[in-house]
A = this chain, B = another copy of it.
Amino acid sequence: MTSSKQPRLGRPPASNSADTQERILAVARQSFAERGYEGTTNRLLAERAGITTGAIYHYFDSKREIYLAVDRDVGRRVFRRFREAEAGADTFVAKFEAILEVAHQMNSEDPSLARFLGAVRVDLQRHTELSEVMGVDGRLRDNAFLAAMVDHGIATGEVAPAQRELVLAFVRTVLIGLTDAVSDDLVAQRAAIDAIGALLEGSLIHPAAN
């Protein structure tokens, strides 16, 4: 009668709420990173988290809510690491390089982080329902963080005040280029970071006399 094959109803033995929720977040981060918001189906999340689709709604009100939760989670993690890296250096160049370095490190440890960051920009543009709710919060904080770093460069004399915006634009471009372009090719990413380091020190390009 009660075969050991068929899954039973009711609360499964030894199931932990916080555990399941974290499992959902983890598989969601991965799937959102790989397949995007639309491409990530509840069925897929459920399968990978070892539950059924209905159970997801015990933890999150909607797919959108899952996405936002993942975004918050990723944002927090990355921001903490960035801040730590930046705090350990004292010139603008050193801070910038430290950040690139830690970005590379995180990408090695858990590629889904970087990939999610790359994907989130696209998905936010495509699904306005997401950006409306999330909005300013995370994005703005990033900008403020980078701006402070550049301002530090002005204080140390590394950056001319007049070029504040230029440097900021460059920093952003490089960071995004690194996450989007080569987040799944660690060798290329390593090369790009080294290149930027060399470039900042003036040892990458030797302008032709021309």
Interface residues of A (CB under 8 A from B): 34-36, 38-39, 90-94, 118-119, 121-122, 125-127, 153, 156-160, 163, 165-170, 172-178, 180-182, 188-189, 191-192, 194-196, 198-202, 204-208, 210
Contact = CB atoms under 8 A, between A and B. Distances in A.
Given A165-B191, A180-B176, A207 B198 contact: no
19 contacts: A34-B125, A35-B126, A39-B127, A93-B205, A121-B180, A159-B205, A166-B194, A167-B204, A169-B188, A170-B195, A170-B196, A172-B182, A173-B177, A173-B182, A174-B177, A176-B180, A199-B199, A201-B207, A202-B207
Contact of A173 (B160, B167, B178, B202): B178
A167 B173 CA distance: 16
Tally of this chain's copies: 4
Contacts of A39: 38, 126-127
B198 A169 contact: no
Contact of A181 (B38, B156, B159, B176): B176
